[in-house]
Amino acid sequence: MLGGYMNKVLRINLTTGEIRTEPLDLNMARKFLGGRGFASYTLYKELKKGIDPLGPENKLIMASGPLAGLFHPCSSKITFAAKSPLTGIYGDSNMGGHLAAELKYAGYDMVIFEGSSNKPVYIVIDDDKVEIRDASHLWGKGTIETEKQLKDELGDDFQIAVIGPAGENLVKVAIIRHDFGRESGRTGVGAVMGSKKIKAIAVRGTKSIPVADFDEYLRIGKEMFKSLMSSPIFPEFQRYGTTMVVDWVNEIGAFPTRNFATGYHENYKELNGTAMKERVWIHDKACGFCPIACGNYSRVEYKGKTYYVEGPEYETIGMIGGCCVMPSIYEVTYGNYVCDNLGLDTISTGAIIAFAYECYEKGIITKNDTNGLELRWGDIESFAKLAEMIAKREGIGNILAEGVKKAAESFGKDSIKFAMQVKGMEISAYESHWAPAMLLAYATCDIGAHHNRAWAITYDIEVGREKITKDKAERVVFLQHARPMFDALGVCRLTWVECGLNLEYYAKIYSAVTGWETTLNDLLKCAERAWNQNRLFAIREIPDFGRKYDYPPARWMEEPAISGPTKGRLIPKEDVDKLLDFYYEVRGWDKYGRPTPEKIKELELEVTE
Amino acid sequence: MAIKIRTGGLTLKRYIPDIYYVDIDSPLTVRDLLTKLGIPEGLIAGVIIDGKIVDKSYEIKDGQEIVLMPPISGG
């Protein structure tokens, strides 16, 4: 018996209203595991070259993984994916919460949303009963109100994913949000959902997930829990979550401050884990099956009103607090609330607003461009106003809603040099003026700059930040397979490097669950296959795609960091080229950054027009 | 002066066991302790003593338990 998979794909066409199911392609399951792997394969296979990411021909994928929804640690991840409106290439973003499990219980491994509706709708997936319902009463509402209203209407046992005004208005950094605080935040998947006029997706299920060897599964699952929870630092990890690193990144000069001009925020202690815990934190919050509960639920007062939000976690602190130079955790928490409720990615929005602040400071844009709004570093009022203008595409917000790359092309005056993005997507919260492996990780990330795929900054520190060596490329490539492997399996990766859980567990438990005897190398090969598939997607879309799309912004190569531990540092273009040469060699790609025929054959990939 | 160190995660495994006891002769700071143990300071994301995050300049007292947190990738 094959376990882990529900053996069913749900296909919903918003144009025709047709709803149908089909058996899961087991060849795809073998070769791509699940989650983002399914998305990579399906989007490459089913999308025509050159389609409009916000048109009806794009498809929005919602896919869990074979390990999601079972009761070993942290089995809660689901991926949303589409051709990205932000980058024009393959895009995805995963989230925790409870949706992955519920989708499996409803009986599906993957849902493919096709076409687009001519009126706002929400989707109800209630086991085998699937409906497209009118959402005109929800359209225009914030994410919090939308999710709450649907919970009230449908029942608390539905797991719900929603978009906010940003997704409705096709803002290219719009998120899909679930469980009042879990987000598929990157690559603009929320805009794709908005383009299909889907306001929300509600899922409830009552089925069981098959497991091939239940006794063995139980044995390994228990071992995983024991290993994870007996880590001597487990209680501290629970207490502070990801905010713990704020002090550290400032000490090493990697906190993205003042639009990445420096890696050091002078008042970082006003933004760190202690500040969060003592000033805004109310209680911890966990995704399904997670004993860590790294999420923080917080409360903040602003202008006499009280706001509640899940967060801020590290990335939000880095991108709103550091990048926009906010003075304290209070402003960051309020900014977090504003973005979440509007349905904006806090990472990209932080980068976009920091970019706008810098353009304003340099006179590239003026009050004439901002409807009289004065833009100042550290000013939460202008941040909140600008976020709203972006979400509603009002005034200059309509330009900023396209992301920093497009905004820089619109503003001109060399602003592209400090538009902090790769492949069109804003860089997340690790300042890399002096972190070559981290810079390479951002530069080569398959969806545009994102730390999630290869978090290599600790490697820079371990082996020497000044080194431009092949082992750094090897490390980045390994991470680019290992970390996405978690996304494909439908489990959280924080158990691994952070809590010390051995990677081999995932091969053992995948074997026990599915009944397919599988090694860790087999799993990593599947992740490599998806990585190359995504590169082929980009090459098919953009004929000259390759090395020139893998460069970081000029700021990191030409402008030294202005303060802090990395003051005066940069990584010149010739060193970036050396890193890319190493990287392409390790990957088995040619010098232009394209998979060689041998590599394509080795991975059993098909190239189509 | 006896100190107990707790740590974990993969990044620090090559430098120190998850639970480690060390004797020191004279008062020293967390930073000094890291140097003594050969752990790169840049790989310690946080130091926690008595449930509070402390600086690496904190002077360690006899019998204290020190938690060395590895870097955690955020969000």
Per-residue pLDDT of A233-280, as tens digits, reads 888 888 777 788 899 999 999 999 999 999 999 999 999 988 999 999
Nearest to A33 by CA among A528, A608, A532: A528
Question: Chain B within 8 Å of A386 (Cβ-Cβ)?
Answer: no
Of A441, A530, A603, A604, whose CA–CA distance to A35 is shortest?
A530
pLDDT, residue A89, reads 98
CA distance A316 to chain B (A): 8
Q: Name the residue of chain B whose CA is nearest to A246's CA.
A: B45
Q: Which amino acid is at A115?
A: G
Residues of A in contact with B41 (CB under 8 A): 251
Collect all residues with Cβ–Cβ distance below 8 Å to A596 and sequence separation of at least 6: A588, A589, A590
> Å from A248 to nearest chain B CA?
5
pLDDT score of A38 more than 80: yes
The conformation of residue A422, written as its DSSP 8-state character, comes to E
Residue B51 has pLDDT above 90, yes or no: no
pLDDT in tens, A107-126: 999 999 999 999 999 999 99
HSE-CB of A505 using CA atoms within 13 angstroms:
24
Alpha helices in A285-428 (DSSP H): 314-316, 329-342, 346-361, 380-391, 397-400, 404-411
Our CA-based measurement puts residue B2 at a distance from the nearest CA of chain A, in whole angstroms, of 18
Single-letter amino acid, residue B28: L
* Min Cα–Cα distance to chain A from B71, Å: 6
**pLDDT the model gives residue A20:** 98
The ranges of chain A annotated as CATH 3.60.9.10 are: 9-204
Distance CA B17, CA A442 (A): 32
Find out whether A110 and A61 touch, Cβ atoms under 8 Å.
yes
Closest Cβ–Cβ partner in A245, A274, A496 for B45? A245
**pLDDT in the model for residue A279:** 97
Terminal Cα distance for chain B, rounded = 39
Measured distance CA(A198)–CA(A139) in Å, rounded: 9
Query: Which strand ranges, in their side-by-side order, compose the sheet holding B65-69?
Result: B19-23, B2-6, B65-69, B46-49, B52-54
Residues ≥6 apart with Cβ < 8 Å to A522: A507
DSSP summary character for residue A551: P
**Chain B contact for A233 (CB, 8 A cutoff):** yes
Confidence band (pLDDT; 50, 70, 90) for B1?
confident
Write the ipTM.
0.89
Cis preceding-peptide flag for A597 (omega within 30 of 0) = no
Residue A242 to residue B74, Cβ atoms within 8 A: yes
Q: Which residue of chain B is at minimal alpha-carbon distance from A229? A: B8
- Is A242 in contact with A316 (CB distance < 8 Å)? no
Residue A490 has what pLDDT? 98
**Between chain A and chain B, how many beta carbons pairs sit less than 8 Å apart?**
109
- Of A234, A274, A494, Cβ closest to residue B53: A274
Predicted confidence (pLDDT) at residue A553 exceeds the cutoff of 60: yes
pTM of the full predicted structure? 0.97
Residues with Cβ within 8 Å of residue A435, at least 6 apart in sequence: A254, A456, A457, A460, A465
Nearest CA to CA, how far is B32 from chain A (Å)?
16
Neighbours of A600 (CB within 10 A): 18
Residues A202, A258: Cα–Cα separation, whole Å: 39
CB A255 within 8 A of CB A266: no
Q: Encoding tokens for residue A125? A: 């997936």
- For domain A9-204, give the CATH number: 3.60.9.10
**HEC profile of A212-274:** CCHHHHHHHHHHHHHHHHCCCCHHHHHHHHHHHHHHHHHHCCCCCECCCCECCCCCHHHCCHH
Asked whether the beta carbons of residue B7 and residue A314 sit closer than 8 angstroms, the reply is no
Closest residue, chain B, to A237 (C-alpha)? B69
Residue type, A164: G
Contact B53 A247 (CB under 8 A): yes
What is the side-by-side strand order in the sheet with A182-184?
A: A129-134, A121-126, A198-204, A159-162, A176-178, A182-184
Interchain CB contact of B6 with A (< 8 Å): yes
CB-CB under 8 Å, B72 with A494:
yes
Residues A95 and A78 sit within 8 Å (Cβ to Cβ): yes
Q: How many CA atoms lie within 13 A of A557 on its CB side?
A: 18
pLDDT, average across residues A415-427? 98
The reported pLDDT for the residue numbered B57 is 93
- pLDDT digits over A493-525, tens only? 988 887 889 999 999 999 999 999 999 999 999
Contact predicate A468/A575, CB 8 Å = yes
* B15 and chain A in contact, CB less than 8 A: no
| Distance in angstroms (rounded) separating the CA atoms of residues A228 and A325 | 36
Which residues face B3 on adjacent strands? B22
- Determine contact, residues A561/A546, Cβ cutoff 8 Å: no
Chain B CB contacts of A251 below 8 Å: 41-42, 56
Q: In whole numbers, what is the pLDDT of chain B averaged over residues?
A: 88
Does A560 score more than 90 pLDDT?
yes
Residues of A with Cβ-Cβ distance to B50 under 8 angstroms: none
Sketch out chain B's domains with CATH numbers. Answer: 2-69 (3.10.20.30)
As a whole number of angstroms, the distance between CA A194 and CA A189 comes to 9
- b/e code A140-174 from CB counts within 10 Å (16+ = b): ebbbbebbebbbeebeeebbbbbbbbbbbbbbbbb
Using the Cβ of A484 and the Cβ atoms of chain B, whether some distance falls under 8 Å is answered with no
CATH for the stretch A436-500+519-602: 1.10.599.10
Q: In chain A, where does the domain assigned CATH 1.10.569.10 lie?
A: 233-426
Q: What percent of chain A has pLDDT over 70?
A: 100
Residue B10: predicted pLDDT: 84
> CB A244 to CB B9 under 8 A?
no
What integer is the mean pLDDT of A582-602? 98
CB-CB under 8 Å, B52 with A242: no
Answer whether A477's CB lies under 8 Å from A586's CB: yes
- Does residue A227 sit at the B interface (CB-CB below 8 Å)? no
Task: Identify all chain A residues contacting B53, using CB atoms and an 8 Å cutoff.
Answer: 240, 244, 247, 272-274
The answer to whether the Cβ–Cβ distance between A429 and B53 falls below 8 Å is no
What is the predicted pLDDT for the residue at B74? 57
User: How far, in Å, CA of A136 to CA of A494, rounded?
Assistant: 39
Q: Which two tokens stand for residue A590?
A: 């040619």
User: Which residue is it, tokens 């003075």?
Assistant: A327
Residue B26: count of CB within 10 angstroms of its CB:
6
Task: State whether residue A314 sits within 8 Å of chain B by CB.
Answer: yes
What pLDDT, on the 0 to 100 scale, is given for residue B75? 53
Residues found in chain B:
75
Residue numbers in A near B71 (CB within 8 A)? 245, 248, 457-458
Please check whether residue B36 touches A, CB under 8 A.
Answer: no
| Gap between the Cα atoms of B66 and B3, Å rounded | 7
State the pLDDT at residue B9.
Answer: 84
Closest chain A residue to B39 measured between Cα atoms? A462
Mean pLDDT of A127-156: 98
| Cβ-nearest to A498 among B9, B46, B48 | B9
Structure tokens at A267: 């008042």
Q: Does A431 touch chain B (CB under 8 A)?
A: no
Percentage of the residues of chain A whose pLDDT score is greater than 90? 93
Closest CA to A338 of A365, A364, A303, A370: A303
> Which position has the higher pLDDT, A244 or A385?
A385
Crossing angle for the helix pair A329-342 and A143-154, to the nearest 10 degrees: 60
Contact indicator for A47, A58 with CB cutoff of 8 Å: yes
Given a cut of 90, whether residue A459 has pLDDT beyond it is yes
Amino acid at A370: T
Rounded to whole angstroms, the Cα distance separating B68 from A558 reads 36
Sign for the CA dihedral angle at B54, B5, A263, A486 comes to negative
pLDDT averaged over every residue in chain A: 97
Angle at A496 between CA B17 and CA A500, to 5 degrees: 15
pLDDT of residue A500: 84
Cα A557 to its chain centre, rounded Å, is 25
Inter-chain touch A457–B44, beta carbons under 8 Å: no
Chain B hits for A451, Cβ within 8 Å: 73-74
Per CATH, the architecture of A233-426 is what? Orthogonal Bundle (1.10)
Is A252 in contact with B42 (Cβ distance < 8 A)?
Answer: yes
Q: Do B13 and A500 touch (CB under 8 A)?
A: yes
- Residue partners of A597: CB distance under 8 A and separation at least 6: none
DSSP A125: E
Test B53 with A494 for CB contact under 8 angstroms: no
Residue B25 C-alpha, separation from nearest chain A C-alpha, in angstroms: 26
* A272:B53 CB<8 A: yes
Which residues does chain A have within 8 Å of residue B52's beta carbon, measured at their own beta carbons? Answer: 274
> B7 at the A interface (CB within 8 A)?
yes
**Residue ranges, CATH 1.10.599.10, chain A:** 436-500+519-602
Does any CB of chain A come closer than 8 Å to the CB of residue B72?
yes
